[in-house]
Structure 1
Amino acid sequence: MTNSAKPRARAADKRRRLATEAARVLHEQGVERTTLADIARAADVPVGNVYYYFKTKDELVLAALSEHSAHLDELTGRLDQLPDPHDRLKALIEAWISQRETAARYGCPTGTLAVELDKRADGILDTEAGTAIRRLLQWAEEQFRALGLPDPDDLALTLVSGYQGMSLLTNALRDPDIMTRQGAHLLRWLDSLKDTDPAA
């Protein structure tokens, strides 16, 4: 690595650390309660350096939303390795259930951010928060369509609504068992759809 490449690599690493920690801290504390200093401390970056990478807190929120989208893409990319769309959808639900302890403490990362950002007047960040949820809906719709089921867009809405609902209740009641029980209900619902699949 050349001398000029090293500072660029260090800068990219700091920016990535800040974005990663912003995603985590904003999920845990919420946008309004989180300061740039909180994120800088979590990323082990001097607070004065944050402004070199992100001029405003909103830019850090956008970076956090991009991190959540990247995590979703990583998850769906792994699920796409499974040959059967029914198995992909089941694995998605099982991934949600595995996050029940986090959901009980903080809720769904994108869902909670979307709700909080919707209260703001500018209407820019909340649109970005909705992007990740739309991507999940589109991915789920593709799976239902691949199964040959009617109304795949409605089925995707039912699935993602079920997830958001169980995340909200799990968080509000601080009860991870809700995620387990409702996740099992979604799995049974998914199996019942397979029984009506004309290609099955």
Structure 2
Amino acid sequence: MTNSVDRRVRASQKRRRLMAAAARVLHEQGVERTTLADIAREAEVPVGNVYYYFKTKDELVRAALAEHTAHLDELTGRLDELADPRDRLKGLIAAWVEQRDVAARFGCPTGTLAAELGKRADGTLDAEAGAVIRRLLEWAARQFRELGLSGPDTEPDDLALTLVAGYQGMSLLAHALRDPDVTTREGARLLHWLDGLN
């Protein structure tokens, strides 16, 4: 009994390592340049074991998207513990700025993956990548709703779109220019914009 439990635990841990490795390697190298061997090496798993857990590269892309969703949920879960929705949004911006060096090297993990998947001929995974971004938009819109802003320029969904578009733009530019300071400056601008909303 203990041996079968141990095997299941080890199998679960190996699968988690492969999912985390897929998220990292696909972010750093892109879908087309990444091989299953790259992910196996990053996860410190024999390449033959990858096929036991994930039959295709697309399954690994889905696993990476699940990792991005889990990271987003973890971040927003921590932010939801803050009492003030404006503080939650500021915390989100601060988290983006903390990742400025990663953004400068590789771009936004989900945004770059969504852009790459959108160019594939089969078009099967781009909607799944878009769903992760939509999840962030919905969370941000809830925060803006809780702020109770009123006026023609304060529609919560539009404000959420402005915020997330600002993040995607600063990630893209920081990456294109290989300049993490772009994220720092744009993060400060987003904080100023947020403070000015009434």
Cα offset, 1:160, TM superposition: 0.2
In the alignment, structure 1 segments of 5+ residues that lack a partner are none
Instruction: Tell me which residue corresponds to 1:23.
Output: 23
Cα offset, 1:82, TM superposition: 0.3
The runs of at least 4 consecutive aligned structure 1 residues that moved more than 4 Å come to none
Q: Following superposition of structure 1 onto structure 2, how do residues 112-191 of structure 1 map, counting pairs within 5 Å?
A: 112-149=112-149, 150-191=154-195
Mapped pair 1:6 → 2:6:
yes
| Cα root mean square deviation, aligned | 0.8
Cα offset, 1:105, TM superposition: 0.2
Mapped to 2, the partners of 1:113 and 1:192 lie a distance apart of: 32
Matched to 1:59, the amino acid is: E
Mapped to 1, the partners of 2:33 and 2:4 lie a distance apart of: 38
Matched to 1:152, the amino acid is: P
User: Secondary structure of the residue that 1:82 maps to in structure 2?
Assistant: coil
Cα offset, 1:86, TM superposition: 0.3
User: Secondary structure of the residue that 2:2 maps to in structure 1?
Assistant: coil
The number of equivalent residue pairs is 194
In the alignment, structure 2 segments of 5+ residues that lack a partner are none
Cα offset, 1:4, TM superposition: 1.0
2:196 pairs, out of 187, 192, 198, with 192
Instruction: Tell me which residue corresponds to 2:49.
Output: 49
Instruction: Tell me which residue corresponds to 2:39.
Output: 39
Mapped to 1, the partners of 2:51 and 2:122 lie a distance apart of: 22
Matched to 1:191, the amino acid is: D
Mapped to 1, the partners of 2:178 and 2:170 lie a distance apart of: 11
Mapped to 1, the partners of 2:10 and 2:92 lie a distance apart of: 35
Mapped to 1, the partners of 2:100 and 2:185 lie a distance apart of: 11
Matched to 2:159, the amino acid is: L
Cα offset, 1:123, TM superposition: 1.7
Compare 63-72 and 117-126 and name the one that shifted more. Answer: 117-126
Deviations 1:78-110 (A, max 9, x none): 000000000000010011001000000000000
Matched to 2:10, the amino acid is: R
Mapped to 1, the partners of 2:77 and 2:47 lie a distance apart of: 35
Instruction: Tell me which residue corresponds to 1:75.
Output: 75
Deviations 1:59-96 (A, max 9, x none): 00100000000000000000000000000000100110
Mapped to 2, the partners of 1:123 and 1:35 lie a distance apart of: 20
Mapped to 1, the partners of 2:103 and 2:3 lie a distance apart of: 44
Mapped to 2, the partners of 1:3 and 1:24 lie a distance apart of: 31
